[in-house]
Chain A
């Protein structure tokens, strides 16, 4: 299958390992990955902070970039959530019904990584090997906007060598929330403190999730406290093999 990678601006700039892992994983499974270089950012930060008008050109760019592709994947529940739940809304608010319709077409073909693997490609055992004790944080937008349910967990359970430990209060937000983490830094940190406590209680070496943004937040806290627990994107775990 020919799959277009929507890398997301955050993974492109700060967490290329998650994006490279997505490419490696899909190619290992026998698919062709293409990267349309005109892509930049989905505009979620603008929309969620109240700057819908500034987001409009970004929505236009995203739709134009990805309209030619039958299947689009992103290593992020949040950015896929924006494509599915915000792009058409932004277009309609600007009175551009044609863009809204096209945005809906792109949205209908855009998948978060675990959705693509389980729902579209029909695979749960991706042949990965990752000999670590791992806990999984289901990010809010994967859980409640996309309803990915237990798909990431089903993928992780089939990874050889991986000891998956359950995270308490897993469905509670880590406190990131985009600009919320800065505008309400104290409340965000209080939420992070509880998330980190639950992560540490598992005794895991690695905390994983399907979103680089939430992992940047949780990882930033775990690093500041020198806990020694690492955050690793789901794609990187699934891309790991005994050879790597």
Chain B
């Protein structure tokens, strides 16, 4: 993609792809929060159950997954050509296409477009791309108020909080906390507000309806951009997206370049895969599609901002590029035993869970998110759940190797690994080391006296009693 320059990673100092601390430290805090643990277990197991039930209804689910993977692989193989086709089609339909090399570019383009309208407020459709680049922060710095209209994103925004799930951004909040946030931060809220979910939803609806009717600019992301027709698509559940995409005078869509699909017919596959894998629905409640500008109907000014922000660098990695196939369904989060216990904030990026553990380090460069590839037991549940068959465990292992290769000097771990490999390649040394393993008795009763990092094991688990003889000693003597 030479038109975007050499592949570079997402710039530092902007956006939400990097955490403040490594995963193990952040996870430790999350694990100590019983409310979070309960919310996550309840939410993920409910979605898992719903999703499994509707997936079981489709006899051709595996073929659909194969088709989804094949379309994405084909798209990535000719991404530049498809993006140029999309640009031509959107332009022909009256839209304006902008190319953003990174988060700074995209934020500047959107801010200038909003400024040109003379407006000081925008309504937003829930979008991962704009969360990724920190667009809300950039707009606020420019004196523009962004209002999130997805209920969960609104809860996150009013609570000055961060999303913790791709699909259910406020999964870490319960209704008592939501009531407090609304009372504190929602303009014009009824002070008698209760924590009854329908009451909370009604309060948000009153506030949002007013905002929809009084705001002239909207910012959205896109689930799909169809190269063949220049059509953009957003799928959602609450109808807020439909409002944002139809009521304002100006619509600005920020789309990651990997969201392009070649043809209209490809949606046949993805619109079956996405809702079943994601919310456990047969069909998503609202599917909005638009092609450029239609006179007298909907926004009369349409801008499409195509975002790279490290994606070309991901594309350049022949193992890691599969991460660009992601359709943001969150199925991997919902089945991940690590995510279910730590929640999304521990990952430090807007992309949490297994897909985040392979996408964030690639977008930023592995060294900026070096703990994430290790935030997995490699149990493989994510691969089985992925509707486009992204081999997340293999990418995790690949990124671990990249991290190890990036070390300029030997580390205690690399020395231990090299020594272990050398020993295991010399059977006599190996046999001697096996006998020495019996010395682990000196580590104290059940190994509690082991030094770091091995005391990570013995903090919660006993070591097995070393046997009297190894198998090979027994075999030699029988």
CB neighbours of A14 from chain B (8 A): 437, 464, 466-467
- Pair B380/A140 contact, Cβ less than 8 Å: yes
Q: Is A177 interfacial (CB 8 A cutoff)?
A: yes
Contact in complex: B430, A40 (CB < 8 Å)? yes
Q: In chain A, what residue has the closest Cβ to B440?
A: A14
Given contacts A40-B425, A43-B421, contact A217 B374 (CB under 8 A): no
Q: Give chain A residues whose Cβ lies under 8 Å from the Cβ of B467.
A: 14-17
A185's nearest neighbour on chain B, judged by CB, is: B456
Contact B460 A224 (CB under 8 A): yes
Task: Determine how close the nearest CB of chain B comes to the CB of A80; give it in whole angstroms.
Answer: 14
Interface set, chain A 140-190, CB cutoff 8 A to B: 140-141, 143-145, 171-173, 175-190
Q: Residue A46 contacts which of B381, B384, B420, B471 (CB distance < 8 angstroms)? A: B420
Q: A187 and B27: CB pair below 8 A?
A: yes
Per a CB cutoff under 8 Å, which of A7, A43, A58, A175 touches B472?
A: A7
Asked if B425 contacts A220 (CB within 8 A), the reply is no
Chain B residues with Cβ below 8 Å from A101 are: none
Do A186 and B31 form a contact, CB below 8 Å, given A14-B464, A144-B380?
A: yes
Q: A9-B424, A51-B401 are in contact. Are A16 and B470 (CB under 8 A)?
A: yes
Interface pair B374/A180, CB less than 8 Å apart? yes
The answer, yes or no, to whether B113 is at the interface (CB within 8 Å) is: no
In the bound complex, do residue A173 and residue B379 qualify as a contact, i.e. CB atoms below 8 Å apart?
A: yes
- Residue from B379, B381, B403, B475 having most chain A Cβ neighbours under 10 A: B379
Which residues from B are CB-within-8-Å of A177? Answer: 376-379
Q: Does A210 contact B (CB under 8 A)?
A: no
Q: Are A182 and B454 in contact (CB under 8 A)?
A: yes
CA of A236 to CA of B184 in the docked complex: distance in angstroms?
A: 62
CB distance from B414 to the nearest CB of A (A): 7
**Inside 8 A of A37's CB, which chain B residues have their CB?**
427, 472, 475-476
Beyond A177-B376, A184-B24, A187-B338, is A12–B471 a contact (Cβ under 8 Å)? yes
* Interface size in chain A (residues, C-beta < 8 A): 65
Cβ-defined contact, A173 with B397, below 8 A: no
Structural contact, A40 and B424, CB atoms closer than 8 A:
yes
Q: How far is the CA of A180 from the CA of B336 in the complex (A)?
A: 14
Task: Mark interface residues in B451-470 (1 if CB within 8 Å of A CB, else 0).
Answer: 00110110111111011011
Q: Is B417 an interface residue (CB 8 A)?
A: yes
Selected from B27, B377, B402, B464, the residue in CB contact (under 8 A) with A140 is B377
Which of B27, B424, B454, B470: most chain A CB closer than 10 A?
Answer: B424
Q: How far is the CA of A16 from the CA of B466 in the complex (A)?
A: 10
In contact, B24 and A180 (Cβ under 8 angstroms) = no
The residues of B with any CB-CB pair to A shorter than 8 Å are: 23-24, 27-28, 31, 37, 337-338, 341-342, 373-381, 383-384, 397, 400-405, 413-414, 417-418, 420-421, 424-425, 427, 430, 434, 437, 446, 453-454, 456-457, 459-464, 466-467, 469-472, 474-476
A-B contact pairs, 23 of them (CB 8 A): A7-B472, A15-B464, A17-B467, A23-B475, A40-B424, A45-B420, A46-B420, A48-B397, A49-B400, A49-B404, A50-B400, A50-B401, A51-B421, A58-B421, A61-B425, A145-B380, A172-B381, A173-B379, A186-B28, A187-B31, A187-B375, A191-B341, A223-B461
Closest 8 CB pairs of A and B: A177-B377, A220-B461, A50-B400, A185-B456, A173-B379, A144-B380, A50-B404, A54-B421
